Amino acid sequence: MVQPNFTSFDVSSFKRAHVVKSSVHAQVDTILKNNLVTSPRNYNAWLLRAITMIDLTTLSGDDTKSHVTRLCQKAANPFSPEELEKLKDVNGVNEKIHTAAVCVYPTRVKDVYAAIKRMGLSDEIQIASVATGFPSGLYSLVTRLTEIKLAIADGATEIDVVLDRSLILMGQWDVMYEEVKQMRAACKGAHLKVILGVGELGTYENVYKAAMLSMYAGADFIKTSTGKEAVNATLPVGLVMCRAIRHFHRQTGIKVGLKPAGGIKTARDAVNWLVLVYNELGEEWLTPKLFRIGASSLLDVIIKEMIKNAEGIAK
């Protein structure tokens, strides 16, 4: 995505943003209540869609080439032959289904690139890398920008950068905006996904302002969390971010994606996020181009839930 250059953007325009916390939580409850998915067939359809939007992730200190290669194989072939047989009557399930991306540390990008290329899926599965001093963001800007460039040189097509949350907490919005702009420039042809670190921003107002500034600075996606914070992706935060995306789209005509990550553990969690995005942003956002779920164990959980539902339908 090529973002316009907002040279005249006034950072101070969002300092008056105010979010009523109780209203946000009440609206989330209403959305889920009014859009409850109960039919096993419909539920499996939502779950299958969720699989195609997963950034299958490993961010462990003991990641190895063999582990990352197995992850790529899982991304390309989420269902085993036995699972495909059990799900043969579920509409849309087939051997061509794959996740949206594989997400790793920069040092493992070469391994992902080699595996995805070997499987002939370079045009279908994105290679995402966390960068810029993940997960804290408290590194020199020079080294953070270099990390982006090195990851792209190794084959990354998407870069999940992490904001320096201290800038937000100290009200240094202008500095944050300029840093994201430089990250955008360093990404060149790669997609820029900006991790807000919502669990450490303190208020919903800060979440909204960080989201808006990131989008005006050139983000292709805004992402909730690194997955390393005490509090990660929550639906109320998701609602605030969806509203920011909607406001930005109305102001600019540009569609920016959303990526919740961290804390999404169950199949119902995944469906609730899809329902939220569908309700707030519309059907057009429910594609891998505009919605992702960052997760490691969620894929297996979803497949088990789909098999359970399919067996229930068969009875």
The residues annotated with a catalytic role in the active site are 160, 223, 259
Q: What is the DSSP string of 189-252?
A: TSEEEEE--GGGS-SHHHHHHHHHHHHHTT-SEEE---S-SSS---HHHHHHHHHHHHHHHHHH
CA–CA separation, 144 and 110 (whole Å): 19
Structure tokens at 124: 């279908």
Partner residues linked to 294 by β-bridges:
55, 261
Q: Distance (Å, rounded) from C-alpha 235 to C-alpha 293? A: 13
Regarding beta strands 54-57 and 293-295, do their DSSP bridges make them parallel or antiparallel, or are they unpaired? parallel
In whole angstroms, what is the distance from residue 214 CA to residue 307 CA?
40
E strand residue ranges, the chain = 54-57, 101-104, 126-131, 158-162, 191-195, 221-223, 257-259, 293-295
Which phi and psi (to 5°) does residue 107 adopt?
-70, -10
